[in-house]
């Protein structure tokens, strides 16, 4: 394992232990040299002196150094709980029909009531809500493939149109037919220009930039907004295009550009949190989950991060994993590295400033 993956900020870890931060459970282990015991950050036991505590990335590391698990906070159970949640997510995503809670819990070795609480703690939503959001997202993808609403409903795994309409109204904030009429009534101007990270698509309504991505073209834009009036830019948004290029080349000098994006309430909260990350700093997915008030929803934050429609302007590239590794990036990891480097982030010592 690389030094980057093993990197732990001891002061940030101690601060998490000092405030008994549950969001850090499973991310770091504190081992007390005077007692020989290791604990998770939220352990209710009285805190030892700072100089008596060592930090490890996981229980295995602490055991390898000769420490034993705390019988009060049972830190080893955290890893088992999170593995169970990850396995349940995989089962939900692989299933063609909704999986009942009792079946899901039995498959990962927990009682239904206990597992419902664990899943909601880690994902920010219940198993049923996660499955509903997954089906709605699949329906969106099928709709973008020019399928009819009825085809999209059944292909996404819904048993009946009524359930899709109920889910879509809650999740999308509009009726399925209105979503299918994506962009109707809007004029969207676009430009594809060269950037140091490759071809850059900038598309905008009269309110602001609605799409900024690497490697997309007019066809991709038309698939996303099939009924909008799509026009190649005649210079109307040239100033915004130049500003976007400046945000890539010289981020410290980039202007504040207007954006016109819409998502679910959760997505928009995540995107707002991303815009608050200062230039030259990074945050972890867990940090963003805590910032939006759902510390257990780390995986959901990653999904919202990946759904960001305006790269760079909503700086999803500033989010990395808690262990210091980069995680994913829609524009490709090489571009993520270049964007962070342009902002002064040293990848040898990731900037995980959680102050």
Q: List the pLDDT tens digit at each of the 355 positions of the chain.
A: 322 334 678 888 898 888 888 767 777 899 999 999 999 888 888 889 999 999 998 888 899 999 999 988 888 776 677 778 878 888 887 777 778 999 999 998 889 988 888 888 767 678 888 887 777 666 666 555 545 555 655 665 555 555 555 554 444 333 334 334 566 677 889 999 999 999 999 998 877 888 999 989 999 988 888 888 899 999 889 999 999 999 999 988 888 888 887 777 788 889 989 988 988 899 999 999 988 888 888 888 888 888 898 999 999 999 998 888 888 888 888 889 999 999 888 765 444 333 3
Q: What are the CA-CA distances from residue 131 to residues 9, 56, 121, 197, 322 (Å)?
A: 36, 34, 16, 36, 26
Per-residue pLDDT at 173: 34
Q: Among the options 70, 73, 210, 316, which is catalytic?
A: 316
Per-residue pLDDT at 139: 64
Known catalytic residue at 316:
yes
Q: Among the options 39, 70, 73, 210, which is catalytic?
A: 39
Per-residue pLDDT at 169: 43
Known catalytic residue at 73:
no
Say how many C-beta atoms besides its own lie within 10 A of residue 332's C-beta.
Answer: 14
What radius of gyration, in Å, describes the C-alpha atoms of the chain? Answer: 23
Beta strands in the chain (DSSP E): 29-32, 37-39, 53-56, 68-69, 187-195, 198-204, 209-214, 229-232, 283-284, 319-320
Q: What are the CA-CA distances from residue 175 to residues 86, 119, 134, 164, 168 (Å)?
A: 32, 29, 17, 10, 7
For each of the domains in the chain, give its residue range(s) and CATH number, in order of start.
3-74 (3.40.10.10), 78-124 (1.10.10), 130-180 (1.10.10), 187-253 (3.30.160.70), 265-342 (1.10.10.10)
Per-residue pLDDT at 212: 94
Per-residue pLDDT at 348: 53
Per-residue pLDDT at 244: 94
Per-residue pLDDT at 130: 81
Structural contact between residues 288 and 301, judged by C-beta atoms closer than 8 angstroms: yes
Structural contact between residues 224 and 181, judged by C-beta atoms closer than 8 angstroms: no
Q: What are the CA-CA distances from residue 106 to residues 9, 87, 110, 122 (Å)?
A: 38, 12, 6, 18
């Amino acid at each position: 394992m690389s030094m980057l993956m093993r990197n732990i900020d001891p002061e940030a870890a101690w601060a998490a232990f000092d405030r008994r931060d549950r969001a850090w459970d499973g991310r770091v282990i504190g081992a007390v040299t005077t007692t020989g015991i290791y604990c998770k950050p939220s352990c209710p036991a009285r805190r030892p002196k700072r100089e008596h505590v060592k930090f490890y990335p996981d229980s295995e590391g602490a055991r390898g150094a000769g420490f034993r698990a705390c019988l009060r906070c049972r830190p080893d159970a955290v890893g088992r709980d999170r593995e169970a949640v990850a396995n349940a997510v995989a089962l939900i995503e692989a299933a063609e029909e909704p999986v009942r809670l009792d079946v899901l819990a039995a498959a990962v070795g927990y009682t239904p009531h206990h597992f419902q609480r664990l899943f909601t703690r880690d994902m920010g939503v219940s198993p049923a809500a996660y499955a509903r959001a997954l089906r709605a997202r699949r329906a969106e993808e099928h709709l973008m493939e020019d399928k009819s609403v009825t085809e999209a409903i059944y292909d996404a795994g819904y048993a009946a149109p009524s359930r899709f309409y109920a889910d879509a109204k809650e999740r999308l904030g509009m009726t399925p037919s209105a979503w299918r009429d994506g962009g109707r009534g809007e004029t969207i101007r676009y430009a594809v220009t060269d950037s140091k990270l490759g071809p850059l698509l900038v598309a905008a309504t009269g309110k602001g930039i609605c799409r900024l991505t690497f490697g997309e073209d007019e066809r991709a834009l038309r698939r996303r907004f099939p009924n909008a009036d799509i026009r190649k830019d005649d210079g109307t948004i040239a100033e915004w295009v130049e500003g976007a290029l400046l945000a890539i080349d010289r981020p410290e000098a980039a202007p504040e550009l207007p954006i016109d994006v819409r998502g679910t309430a959760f997505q928009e909260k995540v995107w707002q949190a991303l815009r608050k990350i200062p230039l030259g700093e990074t945050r972890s997915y867990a940090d963003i989950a805590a910032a939006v008030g759902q510390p257990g929803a780390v995986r959901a934050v990653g999904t919202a991060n990946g759904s960001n429609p305006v790269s760079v302007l909503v700086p999803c590239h500033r989010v990395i994993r808690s262990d210091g590794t980069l995680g994913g990036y829609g524009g490709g990891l090489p571009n993520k590295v270049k964007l962070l480097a342009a902002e002064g982030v040293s990848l040898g010592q990731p900037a995980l400033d959680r102050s």
